Structure 1
Amino acid sequence: MKNLLFVSWDSDQSNYLETLFFPILHGLQKKGLIQAHVIQFSWAPKAKVSHIRKAAEDLGINFTHHKVSKKPFAGLGALQAVYKGVFLLKRYIENHGVEIVMPRSTMPATMVNRLWDWLRKNRVKVIFDADGFPIQERVDFAGMNKDSLYHRLLSQEEQKMLLHADRILVRSKKAKEKHGQAIGESILPKIVSVANGRDAKHFFIDKEKRQAARESLGLEEEHVLWVYTGSLGPQYRLEEMLALFKMYWNKDRQARFLILTPQQHVDLSFLPSEIKNCISIQAVEYDEIPAFLNAADLGLSLRKEAPSIAGLSPIKTGEYLIMGLPVVLSPGVGDTDEILRGKDFAYFWEKGGEEGLMLWLQNLKSHNSAEIREFAMNYFSLEKSVEDYSVALEGL
Structure 2
Amino acid sequence: MRVLFLSYDGMTDPLGSSQVIPYLQGLARHGHQILILSAEKPDRHAALGPEIAKNLASAGIEWRPIRYHKNPPVLSTLFDVSRMFATALLLRRRFAFGIVHARSYVPALAAWALAKILPARFLFDMRGFWADERVDGGLWNLSRLPYRTVYRFFKYMEGRFLTESHAVVSLTHKGLEEMRRWPAASRMAPVEVIPCCVDTARFSVVDPEEKRGLALRLGIAPGDKILVYLGSLGTWYLLDEMLAFLSFVRKENPAWRFLVVTPDDPSRVTSRLNGLPPEAVIVASCRHAEAPLYLSLAHAGLFFIRPAYSKMSSSPTKLGEMLAMGIPVVANAGVGDVDWIFGRWPVGHLLRDFSPEEMARGARALERLHPSPGIRAAALDYFSLEKGVARYQAIYERLGRASENT
User: 2:308 and 2:131 mapped to 1: Cα distance?
Assistant: 13
User: 2:272 and 2:237 mapped to 1: Cα distance?
Assistant: 18
Q: Sequence identity of aligned pairs in percent?
A: 28
Moved more, 211-220 or 228-237: 211-220
Say which of 369, 372, 392 aligns to 2:395: 392
Coordinate RMSD, CA, aligned:
2.1
Match of 2:338 in 1: 336
Does residue 376 of structure 1 match 2:379? Answer: yes
- 1:41/1:362 CA distance change after superposition, 3 Å: same
Match of 1:42 in 2: 40
User: 1:36 and 1:294 mapped to 2: Cα distance?
Assistant: 34
User: 1:267 and 1:301 mapped to 2: Cα distance?
Assistant: 14
- 1:52/1:155 CA distance change after superposition, 3 Å: farther
Does residue 52 of structure 1 match 2:48? Answer: no
Alignment of 1:74-113 (within 5 A): 74-113=73-112
Q: What's the CA shift for 1:3?
A: 0.7
Q: What's the CA shift for 1:167?
A: 0.3
User: 2:82 and 2:346 mapped to 1: Cα distance?
Assistant: 51
Q: What's the CA shift for 1:392?
A: 2.1
Kept after mapping to 2: 8 A contact 1:13/1:44: no
User: 1:324 and 1:93 mapped to 2: Cα distance?
Assistant: 45
Match of 1:348 in 2: 350
Match of 1:206 in 2: 206
Alignment of 1:1-396 (within 5 A): 2-10=1-9, 14-32=13-31, 34-45=32-43, 46-70=46-70, 73-119=72-118, 122=119, 124-146=120-142, 148-188=148-188, 190-206=190-206, 208=208, 209-264=210-265, 265-271=267-273, 275-341=277-343, 343-349=345-351, 350-352=353-355, 353-364=358-369, 367-396=370-399
- 1:99/1:74 CA distance change after superposition, 3 Å: same
Query: Could you list the runs of 5+ residues in structure 1 that have no partner in the other structure?
Result: none
Aligned residues: 388
> Which amino acid in the other structure matches residue 175 of structure 2?
A
- 1:374/1:270 CA distance change after superposition, 3 Å: closer
Kept after mapping to 2: 8 A contact 1:176/1:188: no
- 1:67/1:154 CA distance change after superposition, 3 Å: same
Kept after mapping to 2: 8 A contact 1:180/1:187: no
Q: What's the CA shift for 1:60?
A: 2.1
User: 1:44 and 1:12 mapped to 2: Cα distance?
Assistant: 12
Question: Counterpart of 1:102 in 2: which secondary structure?
Answer: strand
Moved more, 252-261 or 125-134: 252-261
Q: What's the CA shift for 1:12?
A: 9.7
Question: Counterpart of 2:109 in 1: which secondary structure?
Answer: helix
Question: Counterpart of 2:268 in 1: which secondary structure?
Answer: coil
Q: What's the CA shift for 1:232?
A: 1.0
User: 2:274 and 2:129 mapped to 1: Cα distance?
Assistant: 38
Kept after mapping to 2: 8 A contact 1:8/1:40: yes
Query: Could you list the runs of 5+ residues in structure 2 that have no partner in the other structure?
Result: 400-406
Q: For 1:146-196, what per-residue CA distance to the aligned partner results, in whole angstroms no more than 9, with x for missing partners?
A: 461111122222221111100001101122222232243334561111121
Match of 2:402 in 1: none
- TM-score if structure 1 supplies the norm length? 0.91
Q: What's the CA shift for 1:102?
A: 0.4
> Which amino acid in the other structure matches residue 8 of structure 2?
W
User: 2:138 and 2:344 mapped to 1: Cα distance?
Assistant: 33
Moved more, 153-162 or 96-105: 153-162
Q: For 1:114-158, what per-residue CA distance to the aligned partner results, in whole angstroms no more than 9, with x for missing partners?
A: 334312xx2x11111111111111001133134611111222222
- 1:52/1:157 CA distance change after superposition, 3 Å: farther
> Which amino acid in the other structure matches residue 360 of structure 2?
E
Q: What's the CA shift for 1:26?
A: 1.2
